[in-house]
Amino acid sequence: MGRKQERIRRKMENNPVVECNKIRSRYCPDLFRDFAGTKDPRNQSYIEYSNDELLGTMFYKGIAGIESMQSMTYEFNQERVVENLYRFMGRKGKEYLPHAVTVNEYLERLEPEELQRVLQKQVYGLIRSKSFYDARFQKKWLVIVDGTQTYSGSRKLNEGCLERHYNKGTEEESVNYHCDVLEAKIVLGESLVVSIASEFIENNGEDAERQKNLGEEKRKQDCETKAFKRLAGKIKKAFPRLPVILLADSLYASEPVMDICRGNGWEYIIRYKTGSIPSITEEYERIPGKETSGHAEFINGIDYNGKGMNVLRFREEKIVEGEAVWTEFQWLTSIRITKNNAEKVAETGRKRWKIENEGFNRQKNWQGDITHACSWDATAMKNHYLMTQISDMVKQLYEWFFLKARGIKKKQKNISSELLASFGRQLTEQEDINWKDTHSAPVN
């Protein structure tokens, strides 16, 4: 970008954090009031900072893409930054924002479900706003499920860490400790994918009591497939009437997952590899005269343990070094496939990659780092992760409805840094956006 274009861009976006606050006020008008409404776990006689001040500080940490708590305390220790952030939160008169230690002590005691409910309330408002209806397929919302690590290392941070042993029984034996989460994200646009529910995978989960007296060899760790049942229950409880199409990788090509989808009234498009359920492949190959449409091939009603499902294959051509290279994809789906929708179903199934690209990669490499251990406490780690999801949701809305809508192009790495830089600018009264002034703004 040349100097002229850069000058035009800066005029179009006079103050990034102000524009971000306007978007937050427009699409998540009750966010700070919901922060204030969380159940406070502290002794009320010793409170210096309110719930919304503590969580608001963490929210703006995420907006600024700050990775560590120490960096947050340093960056937020400027008079203008303190003044502006308190104004954004509808507060005035305090000299300092909460210190990192104070915030972490609070997050160690806050029930993570409190933040999960805050997040889901914002998502419910987005769904109701009708601004994102074009992202649906067959009038159903795409929900992508996948797992990721939030920590991996040789240090056991807490008792909830999962373990992976290498060279077991030898002198070179080593243990890798990791913290995992099973994430569900709802697709609201081509580059807009936000968390709708999170389920943490940990050793003190549902099997802990039953297995506490078992030896290491017999003890089974929590895993994605166990966590999926809990995650699906969370989504159904929070959004009981939401029409859903579940997108997932081949790990979820199993009867229990499909039964959960049927029980919840959900459709599914699940990536399928030949070895996942061999009987389905065998029956598919035996059936002659498969239907085709473009690069798609499909059969409806294949039997699997007395229940019908549909199989879709799609071949994609790419030119590599002047030669055509074909790649084949397969899915199992509850959606009846026709010549008219076959390629569209395949296109929809491939959106599963959005949870990696617009989801995990973004939050690990572009807009902060969810793998940075801001605390060793298991509860605080969960709350840090959930606060990242809330901040990133608002930042994505800012990118979608302000930057992209105005044709403002920025490198991903510059979005957070420019937001942080704008925290310390002098604001006018017209730029003073806080929840007290905007909480009644319409959602539509």
- Crossing angle for the helix pair 378-398 and 51-63, nearest 10 degrees? 60
Please indicate, yes or no, if residue 360 is contained in any of the structural domains.
no
pLDDT at 412 over 70: yes
The tokens describing 144, both together, are 């992508």
Please indicate, yes or no, if residue 417 is contained in any of the structural domains.
yes
Please indicate, yes or no, if residue 22 is contained in any of the structural domains.
yes
Looking at per-residue confidence, does 315 or 437 come out higher? 315
- Bridge partners of 327? 316
Please indicate, yes or no, if residue 142 is contained in any of the structural domains.
no
- How many Cβ atoms from other residues are within 10 Å of residue 38's Cβ? 18
Rounded to an integer, the average pLDDT of 338-357 is 92
Please indicate, yes or no, if residue 49 is contained in any of the structural domains.
yes
Domain count, the chain: 1
Please indicate, yes or no, if residue 116 is contained in any of the structural domains.
yes
In tens, the pLDDT along 259-294 reads: 999 999 999 999 998 778 888 988 999 998 899 999
Q: What is the pTM of this model?
A: 0.89
Provide the mean pLDDT of the chain.
88
The rounded distance, in Å, linking the Cα atoms of 34 and 439 is 11
Rounded to an integer, the average pLDDT of 217-237 is 83
Please indicate, yes or no, if residue 153 is contained in any of the structural domains.
no
The rounded distance, in Å, linking the Cα atoms of 410 and 348 is 28
Please indicate, yes or no, if residue 149 is contained in any of the structural domains.
no
pLDDT at 436 over 60: no
Short-list 122, 129, 72, CA closest to 99: 72
In tens, the pLDDT along 138-189 reads: 999 999 999 999 999 999 999 889 988 898 888 888 999 999 999 999 999 9
Looking at per-residue confidence, does 217 or 357 come out higher? 357
Q: Is 394 exposed, middle or buried (0-12, 13-18, 19+ CB in 10 A)?
A: buried
Rounded to an integer, the average pLDDT of 104-131 is 96
CA-based max dimension of the chain = 76
- Give the domain range for residue 99: 1-132+375-438
